[in-house]
Amino acid sequence: MMTERGPHSFPWTAILFAALLVLLPVVAHADGAVDLKDAQVALENGRPLNAIRFADQAIDSGDLTGVALGHAHVLRGIGLHRSGNPLRAIDSFFDSIQIYPQSVDAFSNLGLALDDVGRHDDALQAHDRAVWLRPDLATTFYN
């Protein structure tokens, strides 16, 4: 014999609480992710100073870790490089590499910035590392 279950027989409260605990880090992380998207859009629209500001906000928020934090430093570095600050860009790319050593974007952009300041041998090493990490990515060969 099958009995009907009412709305109070199922632990909805426990499930909703567990879902909230799972989603809270995503919501907290979403603020930083929005800033990264804004930084990317600013770069795409030729506004490197805005990209730097958005990336700095994301980095300073403390909400980003790992790959996302490394990517924020890459976006910051690209903004710095495009705004005429290749030395500061290099520092930002190195920050990214320390956080996420598999970042093809960090090595590729580091190579471009190193080349701009006349460190051609170091630039070649950075580009070689980018190609080694992602040999299937055409931009690593182009750079």
Q: Is the pLDDT of residue 96 over 70?
A: yes
Q: How many CA atoms lie within 13 Å of 138's alpha carbon, on the beta-carbon side?
A: 0
How large is the C-alpha radius of gyration of the chain? 21
CB 52 within 8 A of CB 36: no
At 35 the pLDDT is 60
The CA-based angle 133-90-86, given to 5 degrees, is 125
Tokens standing for residue 3: 């009995």
Q: Which residue has the tokens 């520092």?
A: 91
- The overall average pLDDT reported for the chain is 80
Q: Which residue has the tokens 């990517």?
A: 71
**For residues 133 and 138, what is the distance between their CA atoms, to the nearest angstrom?**
12
At 100 the pLDDT is 95
Region of poorest pLDDT, from 24-33, 42-51, 113-122: 24-33
At 12 the pLDDT is 41
At 134 the pLDDT is 84
Q: Is the pLDDT of residue 83 over 80?
A: yes
Q: What percent of the chain has a predicted confidence (pLDDT) above 90?
A: 63
Q: Is the pLDDT of residue 142 over 70?
A: no
Region of poorest pLDDT, from 13-27, 28-42, 71-85, 124-138: 13-27
At 87 the pLDDT is 97
Mean pLDDT for the stretch of residues 113-137:
91
